[in-house]
Amino acid sequence: MTSVSSESLASARAYLESRRSELTLETAKEFFSVLNVLDANPGLQRALTDPSREPADRAALFGRVLGSQVSETVSAAAQHVASARYSSLRDFVDTFETLGVDAAAFVAEREGESGIGRLENELFAFANTVEESHELQGALSRATASGEARRTLARRLTERDSEPAQVLLEQAVMHPRGLKVVTLVERFAQYVAARHNLWVAHVETSQELTPEQSQRLAESLTRVFGRELKINATTLPSLIGGVRVTVGDEVIDSSVVARINRLKQRLAS
């Protein structure tokens, strides 16, 4: 994905994040429905990404096409997506797949780190189960298998999984979009794993933390990031002292070695 498409995808995900309190599993299903409609209509894809049209015109067109078939939340997000620029039709359509996964992940996150962690594990477990069975691979990829047969198989395999997992796995089985089902499920799992990582604080210290220090650090990080984080602590003597914390893409480095390096940079400038 090019930088133009990446920026548009990031904008769409941020928009969805701003409305996360409105999201339900039905929202995820609606995003996938929009995705499936777009996949089946190349002409509509071209109209919604036509650079000769003003962004507001593309958004309004999508709003008219969707009408009352989806919720206001999904319609507004779809119009936001249509008003942005993409380097390819595939990038535009793939955005709705990502938003569908995000919506399901947001629902799982309402149970905290345990919810999003469970969803991640369920997706990877499904992929591993199918990968290890030639019979399942054949059943899920057989061109002669009816949609209902694949849906029944997916539900049998996921009957003990969480509802967010069932929504994502049924989408992958019913609409693999030219990919192997395992490949698409693994892609979903990677999206979710990235979100799960936002609930884990990777903490490096020069010496092992005491239980009291770990508790105080956890409380401080919860205040900073606005959610309860799971602490994954490791010792790294080369830090000399202080602490380095990584949560997702964010790094807080107050180690002695980091302060020394910053001082060296200032002296060299």
3-state secondary structure of 25: helix
Least confident of 4-8, 231-235, 258-262: 258-262
Least confident of 59-68, 129-138, 237-246: 237-246
**Measured CA angle at 237 (ends 231, 242), to 5 deg:** 60
Residue 145 pLDDT greater than 80, yes or no: no
Q: Give 166 or 138, the one with higher predicted confidence.
A: 166
Place 256 in a pLDDT band, splitting at 50, 70 and 90: low
Q: How far is CA 262 from CA 37, 56, 189, 240, 257, in A?
A: 53, 47, 38, 15, 9
Q: At what angle are helices 147-158 and 134-141 packed, to 10 degrees?
A: 140
Query: Please, is 21 exposed, middle or buried when counting C-beta atoms within 10 Å of its C-beta (0-12, 13-18, 19+)?
Result: exposed
Q: What is the mean pLDDT of residues 135-161?
A: 85
Radius of gyration, alpha carbons of the chain = 22
Q: Give 97 or 258, the one with higher predicted confidence.
A: 97
